Amino acid sequence: MAHLSPENLERAAQLISLYPKDRSALIPLCHLAQSQDGFLTEEAMQDIARLVGVTPAEVYGTATFYDMLHTEPVGTYVIAMCTNIACLLNGAFELLEHAEHRLGVHVGQTTKDGKFTIEEAECLAACDTAPCVQVNHRFFGPLAPESFDALVDDLLSGRLDDVVPPHGVLNRVERTVGLVSDRENEVAQ
């Protein structure tokens, strides 16, 4: 029996059709499953393996290679805080300490309500907005303790629901425009 919802199985078929080889859809399918459950469950990885013709171990290997994919439960909002040199010089460690205090958890932990997980990031490549933060792969910064608190409040209130999807769904999974593969043309005909 499939773990992915009927809607996600339909979306998976659409995603697979975008690629010349089924296994090329592996990462978008991982994001699709993560959007359903908040992380990649063992059952979801088995579904993905069947859909693209690989082993569950290959899905797991791919998922554990990329830090944007989670094989363990994480918060609805994963907050990645950059502590590389530009952010460090602009107060990243102080901001990280403030975030831990505000949320009541340390790096690598999830709040008891399951809303937030804090991660330390080596570099988010947004040095011009140091110290910067990503929430589910969406950039915010420069942040100070007060603006971090406002960000948390906005996330909790739902004011950022249109900007920050739960569990970091990538735009590629929701793709409705762009280049059409030969397989997609065949499916459409």
We report the CATH number of the domain holding residue 32 as 1.10.10.1590
In a domain, 148, yes or no: yes
User: Average pLDDT for residues 124-149, to the nearest whole number?
Assistant: 94
Residues 6+ apart with CB under 8 A from 105: 111, 116, 117, 118
Same structural domain, 174 and 162: no
The Cα 86–Cα 125 span in angstroms is 10
Same structural domain, 161 and 181: no
Same structural domain, 86 and 160: yes
Same structural domain, 88 and 125: yes
* pLDDT at residue 164 greater than cutoff 50: yes
- How does residue 180 score in pLDDT terms, banded at 50, 70 and 90? low
In a domain, 1, yes or no: no
Same structural domain, 40 and 58: yes
Residue 25 C-alpha from the chain's centroid: 16
Domain of residue 179 covers: 6-68+170-188
% of the chain with per-residue pLDDT over 70: 88
Same structural domain, 161 and 180: no
The β-bridge partners of 79 are 118, 135
* pLDDT at residue 1 greater than cutoff 70: no
Query: Which of 107, 104, 112, 96 is closest to 148 using CA atoms?
Result: 96
In a domain, 122, yes or no: yes
Give the number of domains in the chain.
2
- State the average pLDDT for the chain: 89
* pLDDT at residue 179 greater than cutoff 60: no
Q: What is the pLDDT of residues 19-39, one digit of tens each?
A: 999 999 999 999 999 989 989
- How does residue 130 score in pLDDT terms, banded at 50, 70 and 90? very high
User: Average pLDDT for residues 158-186, to the nearest whole number?
Assistant: 67
* pLDDT at residue 77 greater than cutoff 50: yes
Report the pLDDT value the prediction gives residue 122, as an integer from 0 to 100.
Answer: 87
CA quadruple 62, 83, 158, 70: dihedral, nearest 10: 20
In a domain, 19, yes or no: yes
Same structural domain, 127 and 93: yes
We report the CATH number of the domain holding residue 120 as 3.40.30.10
Same structural domain, 84 and 120: yes
Same structural domain, 106 and 36: no
- How does residue 167 score in pLDDT terms, banded at 50, 70 and 90? confident
In a domain, 138, yes or no: yes
Report the pLDDT value the prediction gives residue 21, as an integer from 0 to 100.
Answer: 94
Report the pLDDT value the prediction gives residue 127, as an integer from 0 to 100.
Answer: 93
Report the pLDDT value the prediction gives residue 183, as an integer from 0 to 100.
Answer: 53
Tell me how far CA of residue 142 lies from CA of 7, 54, 157, in angstroms: 38, 42, 21
Same structural domain, 20 and 83: no
Report the pLDDT value the prediction gives residue 67, as an integer from 0 to 100.
Answer: 83
